[in-house]
Amino acid sequence: MHTFALFGCGRIGQIHGANVAANQKCHLKYVVDVYQPAAEAAASKFNASVATIEEALADAEVDAVLICSATETHADLIVQSAHAGKAIFCEKPVDLNIDRVRQCLAVVKECDVPLMMGFNRRFDPNFAHLKNALDQGAVGDLEMLTIASRDPSAPPVSYIQSSGGLFRDMTIHDFDIARWLLGEEPVTVYASASSLVSPEIKEAGDVDTAVVTLTCASGKVAVITNSRRASYGYDQRVEVHGSKGMLEIKNVPESTVVVSTDAGVQAQKPMHFFLERYAAAYKSELECFVEGLASGNHTFPSGNDGEKALLLADAAVASLQSGQAVAL
Amino acid sequence: MHTFALFGCGRIGQIHGANVAANQKCHLKYVVDVYQPAAEAAASKFNASVATIEEALADAEVDAVLICSATETHADLIVQSAHAGKAIFCEKPVDLNIDRVRQCLAVVKECDVPLMMGFNRRFDPNFAHLKNALDQGAVGDLEMLTIASRDPSAPPVSYIQSSGGLFRDMTIHDFDIARWLLGEEPVTVYASASSLVSPEIKEAGDVDTAVVTLTCASGKVAVITNSRRASYGYDQRVEVHGSKGMLEIKNVPESTVVVSTDAGVQAQKPMHFFLERYAAAYKSELECFVEGLASGNHTFPSGNDGEKALLLADAAVASLQSGQAVAL
Amino acid sequence: MHTFALFGCGRIGQIHGANVAANQKCHLKYVVDVYQPAAEAAASKFNASVATIEEALADAEVDAVLICSATETHADLIVQSAHAGKAIFCEKPVDLNIDRVRQCLAVVKECDVPLMMGFNRRFDPNFAHLKNALDQGAVGDLEMLTIASRDPSAPPVSYIQSSGGLFRDMTIHDFDIARWLLGEEPVTVYASASSLVSPEIKEAGDVDTAVVTLTCASGKVAVITNSRRASYGYDQRVEVHGSKGMLEIKNVPESTVVVSTDAGVQAQKPMHFFLERYAAAYKSELECFVEGLASGNHTFPSGNDGEKALLLADAAVASLQSGQAVAL
Amino acid sequence: MHTFALFGCGRIGQIHGANVAANQKCHLKYVVDVYQPAAEAAASKFNASVATIEEALADAEVDAVLICSATETHADLIVQSAHAGKAIFCEKPVDLNIDRVRQCLAVVKECDVPLMMGFNRRFDPNFAHLKNALDQGAVGDLEMLTIASRDPSAPPVSYIQSSGGLFRDMTIHDFDIARWLLGEEPVTVYASASSLVSPEIKEAGDVDTAVVTLTCASGKVAVITNSRRASYGYDQRVEVHGSKGMLEIKNVPESTVVVSTDAGVQAQKPMHFFLERYAAAYKSELECFVEGLASGNHTFPSGNDGEKALLLADAAVASLQSGQAVAL
């Protein structure tokens, strides 16, 4: 039985809180949020107590924390939690500044606490199935990887202003998946991107439509296509082209109902957004964290994975600014 | 908050028990099973107490029961629970004998307690979506209905010997779906069936491969195809042909991974069996029961639905014996 | 090189005429039609001469005839052609009267000329692929067969009045496919049918919506579902359920374009009707006839196949009238 | 009626020759090939005469030529045919040298003869359907375009040595489709490519696995993924992401048969290679040429389209060599 404190009771915090509360190997003891009513609602819902960061970390019974608060608080919370000797699950990113990330990971290493980064897609049953098939040689050696990742609609500009922009808040998940599947670090990054979806995003200095090419030393290549808007829903597809064939993850439709009329043969849209599409992934992610804590075998995405994905995002930003491929 | 007693802690009892235990509007107070270790394991898992039938029904705090025990105990438990004034959720069937079913439903009516029959498929998101689209006129008036329902593999003969046979234990779900979608009672039933899957089933006097045609007075027709064995998994498809088009429910694959090699383009098999395929349906079914108790608006499958489905099963048996269509 | 005379220059006659004209192993010498302008147009199009039946049959250079004229002329033309020693390709049916069919086939036998019945579906690449996979054991032994066959819209009532009705003009193709795939003759036929599509069809005494169940002595069972109207296009699907799996033929869409919008994920409708859907089948059918003539190895559908399919249609009519299963 | 001379009787020459021979608006008078037996076989097959280039061009009855000979002969044949006043259909490319292409097109312009380049994919029913849907606004404004184009297996190295390499012999078709769909010229080209498929290709100095990104001034972006090997067959897919949704072309399977067994749900591979996959496109392409000649309305791909596609291929080569994006 692991005892948790949850930092941050927003949308994603509530997902993790509910999963901890429902998991028979876990106990959610504290919830923490700068906005008191949110903390109280979560406490009531998950049968937990409201606490401050300090109170939660001071309780020796707490052996793990879930960091689901605002991005700019992640690094500090990681450092504090590490010093308190807690196992840490943290939503991406560690921080938007790579130096700060490195300092933070150094503390984690020094304190020798487990740190799992919340790259949820690896835990989706479809992604996991593809990875397993690839590892078992179903299509031979990977030669080319294509990731399509498109949100149903653009976030508010206020979000973009603090998110680090498209490459750091959205593509970062694709960078993680690319690294995970390639089995090799990219050595060059080239980004082509523009603002076609939203004038506000353009004014905020960000892009909303992007293609990023990652090339490895071995010649393997990955392409990521992103858009902040897919009118048909959350588009999350992967295609691995290997020496013996192709592996694909298709979208998950809202239902399997197909309607054939004189207008055509209509299947359902993909599940609308990440909360629905990755509901199982969030559960499985928590399981992996808990199993890792129990066994000491940490197979989950690490702080290093968070760092490497951020480096790719930074390189994509640099490529976009220079118009040229960036070597890593 | 509704307080439940669970009768029967086998496979299906555990599904319902877990759903009650996880539902915030419910409290699972007692578990009952003739096999004490099963009761104790369930009690421990769901944080409930082991009790006898009498103890559970005598507790005024218990307002609802879940009947998940062996088929031959259903009718007695319904009668006892109705006399105790409890709301009743009962797995199908009420009983395998139509007279006993009617006596039992008369008691339920007399005691004026809610009774929901566990026709789980109506609550599957895909079936519910199809029904909703049909009701909204997506394909005009239903003219023909096709139901394919095939199990991955045959049950042990011991099960068949007490189940009432293919039509009463398996097709009964399809009869319910047919009635639900047709919106009209069939007036004739014709069955063609044989034992192609298993010699043991044949020896036990049952069939394992069947086609049943239901015809309504209006001319609408439904066809059900059944097999006790589908090597590719649990096959659960529906096709509604209407005046303006066709509605289909496709199978739900184990994942969306597709593997293309020189052997072909391979998608995943359907989810293996009912526990996986209808996991969401069982949750939704319980929700409907609980909402019905709260609102007094009982939209769930009733005892009458259980009776009507059994009448169709009995007619299919009679048709098979006589080789002729049976009028209802 | 085979020299042909074509009897009947209507829609289907023009299909076969064009295929003969384009086939390098064939020469279309004569076209015959009771309506002179149709004959002349075809002659011009296919670089052939207009002739009477007698002239065409009297020409010793002609070694094969294509009978594509009105149904009621088929039997006479077969008899005349057989007496003239010509190889005969005849569109279904031989005749609507089973006795006349038998007399006619006796003449063919006596004259010892090849007779191929135009059951075109066997030659569709998709049907041929399924048959081949079945024969090679891809799904083990066939246990259940499902055929969905629906026209995009009802024919004019005038057609129905001389066609012999749904079972004899439309289901007859499905009866042929059922026999071909079952590899065994059905021993009972049960039909449920009604007039839901068109009041005119009802007034003409025919049905437009039907389900026919064919049962074999071995226990194999086939179900055919028909409708005279499928708003989404020509619906032509087959499903073979075997001991080791399932083989399906899906519809052929008008194109592979898929449109995903906020309304859903829309694929194209099936090809509209038989001329488009079976264009390749008609070519392949002619190839088979020509190869059979050359090799003497007649693998094509025979007069006996025409007779057997008509017997099933007659049994379906009898079942519909009596409301009971009919033994063959 | 148009009278044609065919230059080159190899694989693609035979396709066009057969289509001309079967087209009622065309007459194939001459076939020309440096290898006499090939010319004679084609002459016999298409009922044409063997001739020299000079004889064919000197015949005033010939009003159109089909250039299907080796790549290095295209430019000379175009110039000679233009001077002879013939309408010209030429397989891609005009030439592998851009200066030679421009000189050649200047002659064509001077002589004022029609020139159609054989970019066959535009005429495939699926591509044509997608283009039409895009033009009609089915998904709003195009924002991102993805083209997957993979051959079933690598050509012999001897071919690659004279083909101009991957970008000029294979990707050139994708460049044409990209320009056609984007409706705007790309302004930068970035290529990442490597030799993962074949050591011989690597030794010959070419690549076999490539990703090319094309960016337009408006911000629209296109990505092309290529491989010389797709074990599952000829992979030809397009995805247009627009402001209102997504348009896709899926592969065309060899048949619609699906086999479900305990191994999975297996559909058929894509049609094996371009001869099968684009059979209808070649016919339609010829129709377009002939209609253009008849109407004077030349909607077909022009010499300018050939030049622009080659410029993109040259830019991709330059990008690969420099490792940087190339501005056009």
Mind giving me the DSSP string for C218-231?
TS-EEEEEEES--T
D230-259: burial string, b at 16+ Cβ within 10 Å, e else = bbbbbbbbbbbbbebbbbbbbbbbbbbbbb
DSSP 8-state symbol, C258: E
Question: Nearest CB to C245: which of B144, B210, B232?
Answer: B232
Residue whose entry in the numeric block shows the structure tokens 């293309």: B260
| CA distances from residue D114 to D73, D83, D293, D303 in whole angstroms, order as listed | 19, 12, 8, 9
User: Which ranges in D23-94 belong to alpha helices (H)?
Assistant: 36-46, 53-58, 74-83
The DSSP H or E segment spanning B214 is strand B209-216
Query: What are φ and ψ of residue C145, in 5° steps?
Result: -130, 130
D191/D174 Cα distance (integer angstroms): 13
Q: Which residues of chain B make contact with C320, given a CB cutoff of 8 A?
A: none
The ipTM value here is 0.95
**Contact present, C110 and C102 (Cβ < 8 Å):** no
Contact D265 B232 (CB under 8 A): yes
pLDDT average, residue stretch B60-87: 97
Question: pLDDT tens digit string along A193-242?
Answer: 999 999 999 999 999 999 999 999 999 999 999 999 999 999 999 999 99
Report the residue of chain B nearest C151, measured CA to CA.
Answer: B245
Q: Does residue D187 sit in helix, strand or coil?
A: strand
For residue C97, give every residue at least 6 positions away whose Cβ sits within 8 Å of its Cβ, in sequence order, or none: none
Answer whether A257 sits within 8 Å of B249, measured CB to CB. yes
The pLDDT, as a whole number, for residue A22 is 86
Which residues make up the CATH 3.30.360.10 domain(s) of chain B? 121-327
pLDDT tens, position by position, B212-270:
999 999 999 999 999 999 999 999 999 999 999 999 999 999 999 999 999 999 999 99
Neighbours of chain D (3+ CB pairs under 8 A): A, B, C
Distance from the C231 Cα atom to the nearest Cα atom in chain B, whole angstroms: 5
Question: A255 contacts in B (CB within 8 Å)?
Answer: 125-126, 129-130, 249
| List of E strands, chain A | 2-7, 26-32, 49-50, 64-67, 87-90, 115-117, 142-150, 186-194, 209-216, 221-227, 235-242, 245-249, 257-261, 264-267, 326-327
Q: Which helix (H) or strand (E) holds A200?
A: helix A199-203
CB contact (8 A) between residue C250 and residue D261:
no
Question: How would you label B254-288 residue by residue, b for 16+ Cβ within 10 Å and e otherwise?
Answer: bbbbbbbbeebbbbbbbbeebeebbeebbbbbbeb
Specify the pLDDT at position A24. 82
When pLDDT is averaged across residues A107-127 and rounded to a whole number, the result is 98
Q: Inspect the interface and report whether the beta carbons of D129 and C257 lie closer than 8 Å.
A: yes
Which residue in D has a C-alpha nearest to residue C255's C-alpha? Answer: D126
Nearest chain D residue to A191 by CA distance is D213
| Structure tokens belonging to residue C70 | 């009105």
Give the pLDDT score at C33.
97
Low-confidence ranges of chain D (pLDDT < 70): none
| Inter-chain residue contact D260 with C251, CB threshold 8 Å | no
Q: Which residues in chain A touch residue D143, judged by CB atoms under 8 angstroms apart? A: 196-197, 209, 227
**How far is C162 from chain D, CA to nearest CA, in Å?**
34
Interface residues of chain A, partner chain B, Cβ below 8 Å: 22, 125-126, 129-130, 133, 138-139, 244-252, 254-262, 268
**DSSP for residue A120:** G
Domain with CATH 3.40.50.720 in chain A: 2-113
Beta carbons of C259 and D125 less than 8 Å apart: no
Instruction: Select from B220, B227, B239 the Cβ nearest to the Cβ of C144.
Output: B227
Asked if B232 lies within 8 A of D261 by C-beta distance, the reply is yes
Cβ contact A249:D158 at 8 Å: no
Best of D221, D240, D256 to disrupt the A interface (most A CBs within 10 Å) is D221
CB distance B313 to B164 below 8 Å: yes
Q: What span, in angstroms and rounded, lies between the C-alpha atoms of C165 and C176?
A: 16
Q: Return the pLDDT at B24.
A: 82
Chain B residues with CB under 8 Å of D263 CB are 266
Nearest to A325 among D190, D215, D225 (CB): D190
Distance from CA of C236 to the nearest CA of A (A): 14
Subunit contact C265:A231, Cβ cutoff 8 A: no
pLDDT value at residue D65: 98
State the best of B265, B271, B273 to mutate against chain D, taking most chain D CBs within 10 Å. Answer: B265
| Nearest C-alpha neighbor of D266 from the set B231, C236, B259 | B259
Burial class (CB in 10 A: 0-12, 13-18, 19+), B24: exposed
Task: Determine, for residues A267 and C264 on separate chains, whether the beta-carbon distance falls below 8 Å.
Answer: yes
Per-residue pLDDT of chain C (328 residues; tens, 9 = 90+): 899 999 999 999 999 999 999 888 999 999 999 999 999 999 999 999 999 999 999 999 999 999 999 999 999 999 999 999 999 999 999 999 999 999 999 999 999 999 999 999 999 999 999 999 999 999 999 999 999 999 999 999 999 988 999 999 999 999 999 999 999 999 999 999 999 999 999 999 999 999 999 999 999 999 999 999 999 999 999 999 999 999 999 999 999 999 999 999 999 999 999 999 999 999 999 999 999 999 999 999 999 999 999 999 999 999 999 999 999 9
Of B125, B247, B259, the CB nearest to A259: B247
* B243 to C229: CB separation less than 8 angstroms, yes or no: yes
Residues of chain C in contact with residue B188, where contact means CB-CB under 8 angstroms, are 192, 323
Q: Give the nearest chain C residue to D264 (CA atoms).
A: C245
The minimum CA-CA distance between C17 and chain B, rounded to whole Å, is: 35
Residue A1 has a pLDDT of: 86
Q: Which residues contact D302 (CB under 8 A, 6 or more apart)?
A: D115, D116, D117
Output B289-293 pairs: Cβ under 8 A, ≥24 positions apart: B289/B64, B289/B87, B289/B89, B289/B116, B290/B2, B290/B23, B290/B25, B290/B26, B292/B114, B292/B116, B293/B2, B293/B63, B293/B64, B293/B87, B293/B114
Helix (H/G/I), strand (E/B), else coil: C65: strand
What amino acid is encoded at D186 in this protein?
P
Residue-level pLDDT at B44: 95
| Chains in touch with B (≥3 Cβ pairs < 8 A) | A, C, D
Per CATH, the homologous superfamily of domain C2-113 is NAD(P)-binding Rossmann-like Domain (3.40.50.720)
Counting residues of chain A whose pLDDT is more than 90, the rounded percentage is 97
Say what the pLDDT of residue B23 is. Answer: 87
Q: Does the beta-carbon distance from B260 to A250 stay under 8 Å?
A: no
- What crossing angle do the helices spanning D11-22 and D279-295 adopt, rounded to 10°? 60
Distance from CA of B191 to the nearest CA of A (A): 28
Task: Among C250, C265, C269, C271, pick the best mutation site for testing chain A contact (most A Cβ within 10 A).
Answer: C265
Distance between CA atoms of C168 and C132, rounded to whole angstroms?
27
Cβ contacts (< 8 Å) between C209 and chain B: which residues?
Answer: 143-144, 219, 221
Give B265's contacts in chain D (Cβ within 8 Å).
232, 253, 266-270
For every residue of B227-261, which 3-state class applies, written as one string?
ECCCCCCCEEEEEEEECCEEEEECCCECCCEEEEE
Which amino acid makes up residue A81? S
B319 SS3 class: helix
Q: Is B297 exposed, middle or buried (0-12, 13-18, 19+ CB in 10 A)?
A: exposed
* Tens-digit pLDDT profile for residues B150-188: 999 999 999 998 899 999 999 999 999 999 999 999 999
Q: How far apart are CA B245 and CA B235, in angstroms?
A: 23
Mutate to test the interface with D, among B237, B255, B260 (most CBs of D within 10 A): B260
Q: Do B133 and A251 touch (CB under 8 A)?
A: no
CB contact under 8 A, D256 and C250: yes
Class of domain D121-327: alpha beta
CB atoms D220 and A245 under 8 Å: no
Residue A161: is its pLDDT beyond 90?
no
